[in-house]
Amino acid sequence: MSELNNIALKIIGNGKGILAADESTGTMTKRLEGVGVESNSENRLLFRETLFTSDGMKDYIGGVILYDETIKQLNSSGKKIPKLIIDSDTVPGIKVDTGAKTLANSPEEKITEGLDGLRERLKEYYKLGARFTKWRAVYVISKIYPSKLSINSNAHALARYAALAQESGMVPIVEPEVLMDGNHSAEVCLEKTTEVIKKCFDELIKNKIDLSGTILKPNMILPGSNSDQKISSKDIAELTLKCLVDSVPKEVPGIAFLSGGQSDIEATKNLDEINKKNNTRFIMSFSYGRALQQSSLKYWSKNIKDISGTQKVFNHRAKMCSLAATGKWSEQIEKK
């Protein structure tokens, strides 16, 4: 097995998943101000450090995705943040795209940027301790979108990014996120997401990516957030598995879903159903931002000095996600 495959398995094997703590400063400011906390570099670090030093890290979190600001910060006792993460036997990762910008000639869609100078930035992140990377492409659904232009150009950028990440000795997380916005049905989400993921793998293969050292980070198959469609977790799991079986080459070791606007309980329950039904050889885990952090952020914002109380809330959420990653979660365990 390749070294990259070993890293991928360490991140999402054994019921572990990923804590996506790579919000850009703009997004983190929205999250902090949303709970009435001033967004400055000290507060951003304090909240993140609180999570990174939780007991739950060791048992439930195999990788943490950092943002450029955080990977270069020192904690309150002068320790480098990647070192703090490695001390919990967790792998530090880094978001390396520079954001989704307006796609020329299709202004309602986005293309993710960040390829210029990427090779040099990757070298620097590797030296700082990162062993995996993330690049997120976003797609909208409407009657005419996602366009072929958006599907093709984002897949091409994802593949060029993944090639450079592997060249630097790091596992690429390939994240094609089909957004939940809109009133489309789950069946339309299935069709569009399958098309998007298939095109990503076409490009990854053309770019000679080692698929065994790659993690896919997709959305689950859900109705649009403005749709009236009612759908059970069982149906979400079935459609999501169908999409992945149809679009992901068997060499890929695993899949780590984003939560993408689902509540923390929804994201946990749906992942659990996926694993209860999973008869593929793919690991099905999580790479959650909001679904892992929401509850602890809310608690922390009201009890900013209560580090252990905040960690207790985070530990519970991480444990529930980890149980879901092996199909062992239940509503009774959730309430315990």
CA gap 191, 180 in Å, rounded: 14
Q: Is the dihedral of CA 266, 269, 272, 273 positive or negative?
A: negative
Least distance to ligand 13P from the beta carbon of 6, Å?
23
Residue 93: name the closest of 72, 134, 65, 124 by CA.
65
Residue among 16, 192, 217, 269 flagged as catalytic: 217
Residue with smallest beta-carbon separation from ligand 13P: 289
CA gap 257, 285 in Å, rounded: 6
Give φ, ψ of 284 to 5 degrees: -120, 105
Least distance to ligand 13P from the beta carbon of 287, Å?
6
CA gap 33, 44 in Å, rounded: 11
Number of DSSP helices (H) and strands (E) in the chain, helices first: 14, 10
Least distance to ligand 13P from the beta carbon of 27, Å?
9
**Shorter beta-carbon distance to ligand 13P: residue 180 or 323:** 180
Residue among 23, 49, 109, 175 flagged as catalytic: 175
Whole-angstrom CA distances from 19 to 51, 290, 319 are 9, 9, 12
CA gap 64, 132 in Å, rounded: 9
Least distance to ligand 13P from the beta carbon of 39, Å?
17
**Shorter beta-carbon distance to ligand 13P: residue 135 or 145:** 135
Q: Which stretches of the chain bind ligand 13P, using CB under 6 A? A: 20, 136, 175, 258-260, 288-291
175 is catalytic: yes
Buried b / exposed e across 42-57, counting CB within 10 Å, b at 16+? ebbbbbbbbbbbbebb
Instruction: Provide CB contacts within 8 A for 184, sequence distance 6+.
Output: 141, 142, 223, 224, 227
**Shorter beta-carbon distance to ligand 13P: residue 3 or 35:** 35
217 is catalytic: yes
**Shorter beta-carbon distance to ligand 13P: residue 40 or 263:** 263
Least distance to ligand 13P from the beta carbon of 91, Å?
15
Active site residues: 175, 217
